């Protein structure tokens, strides 16, 4: 992890800037697969450590490739946030990221947010033409 949240030491390392006491933002970059998912898993755990920390925004906009291995740590974080009466929302723009959520049956749990600000406000991105709207808002 970089000491500067917006400037990671490695382009593939997730960053963890604080938003508010109850909400954290984890940003991932590069490829996420079986050999590279551990830093994201650790960042998600670190973001939820401590009292409060009920809400989590995961920004995947700079992820160039990911496979289904990402679903386990995201689901673990989602369940933990829900148990604390909070939420987890995922920011992504790539259709390939949506395909991973779709293949895992997770598009309702992880609807697309276009930005961290939209995720904070609970404003899910509009569905692409020809796609049905995501339900549930990730809460």
Over the stretch 52-92, which tens digit does the pLDDT of each residue have?
778 999 999 999 999 999 999 999 999 999 999 999 999 99
Structural domains for the chain:
18-120 (3.30.750.24)
User: pLDDT per position in the chain (139 positions), as tens?
Assistant: 333 333 334 445 554 454 556 789 999 999 999 999 999 999 999 999 877 778 999 999 999 999 999 999 999 999 999 999 999 999 999 999 999 999 999 999 999 999 999 999 999 998 765 555 444 444 4
Helix (H, G, I), strand (E, B) or coil at 113: strand
- The Cα–Cα gap between 54 and 83 comes to 9
Sign of CA dihedral 52, 107, 113, 138: negative
* Tokens describing residue 127: 């569905």
Three-state DSSP class for 71? Answer: helix
The residue among 57, 49, 45, 76 whose CA lies nearest residue 19 is: 57
């Amino acid at each position: 992890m970089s000491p500067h949240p917006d400037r990671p030491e490695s382009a593939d390392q997730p960053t963890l800037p604080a938003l508010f006491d109850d909400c954290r933002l984890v940003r991932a970059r590069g490829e996420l697969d079986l050999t590279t998912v551990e830093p994201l898993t650790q960042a998600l755990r670190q973001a939820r450590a401590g009292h409060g920390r009920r809400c989590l925004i995961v920004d995947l906009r700079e992820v160039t490739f990911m496979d289904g291995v990402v679903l386990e740590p995201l689901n673990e974080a989602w369940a933990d946030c829900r148990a604390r009466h909070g939420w987890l929302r995922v920011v992504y723009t790539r259709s390939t990221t949506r395909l991973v959520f779709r293949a895992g049956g997770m598009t309702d749990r992880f609807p697309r947010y276009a930005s961290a600000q939209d995720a904070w406000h609970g404003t899910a991105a509009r569905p692409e033409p020809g796609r049905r709207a995501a339900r549930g808002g990730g809460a």
